[in-house]
Amino acid sequence: MTIAWNNYLELPETALDGRRIPKTAIVAHAALSKKQQKTLGNLRELHSFATLAKSNTGIPAHVDEDHDIQAVLYLSCLLNSWQRTNDIVTILHRTFPNPTVLLIEVDEPGNRSMVSVGLKRKSLAEESAVVLERVETIELPRSSSEDAMPFWQTFRYPQLSQHDLLDFVTAMQDAVLFADARSFLGFIPQSDGIQRAVMRQELLQFKRLDREIVDLQSRRRNKDLSIGESAEIRVLEASKKEEAQILVDHIKELCHD
């Protein structure tokens, strides 16, 4: 591992770990398919970077009908390449029962890194099981670059809510979500209280629309579509883009109120 992650995270020393996690343990615990095992082949090293709990941070656990969060895991991941990174992120988030922060770097030139935060909730279908509720991921330039600093300033441990572990994870996901919004807003939005909750929902809605637009554009490139089908997709795509622009305009208004 080449990135000194805690220079940016500022986690308590008492929470740091460093133990290596063998891939065989992931395969066995997650009962991966052959295809998923092949995908995991791109993972060169996996380490338990830190574990945050009340015992070493003072942050209370959060237990209610939807969540049972006793600890938050940080995992450092070294990949061979960026190939199938999103699939690896999904596998790792689903493997561990706790909310998990993935700190990802690649052993190749390019100076990029990635941070992903996954929140788990209780399963409605299976007692004592948990499922992945929400994942927020951001790709960053070199961690020490000036372009990455605004993100790390909001993601570092002392800056995050420490009311309880659910609020702590939510604050991390907000930091990722809001920092990633710079790609289409041109700046990182700032807000507090009720306005922040509204902005969070609108940013999540924008992401959903953006995924739908990308899917429509992919469908429209299908050479087997009839002229009528292609035209119908274009109309729907234009409608989704209009919805997305309305959201962008409203988020900018919220930022300037």
Please check the confidence at residue 126 and state whether its pLDDT lies above 90: no
pLDDT in tens, 20-71: 999 888 988 878 888 988 999 999 999 999 999 999 999 999 999 999 999 9
Per-residue pLDDT, 143: 54
Mean pLDDT on 211-219: 94
Please check the confidence at residue 98 and state whether its pLDDT lies above 80: yes
pTM across the whole model: 0.90
Neighbours of 6 (CB within 10 A): 18
Per-residue pLDDT, 30: 78
Cβ-based neighbours of 143, under 8 Å, separated by 6 or more: 3, 5, 8, 113, 152
DSSP state of 137: E
Mean pLDDT on 118-123: 94
Asked whether the CA dihedral 68, 70, 74, 75 is positive or negative, the reply is negative
Percent of the chain scored above 90 by pLDDT? 70
Neighbours of 76 (CB within 10 A): 22
Alpha-carbon distance 250 to 198, whole Å? 10
Cβ–Cβ < 8 Å for 1, 21: no
Mean pLDDT on 202-228: 93
pLDDT in tens, 131-160: 999 999 999 876 556 778 889 999 999 999
pLDDT in tens, 176-191: 999 999 989 989 998 7
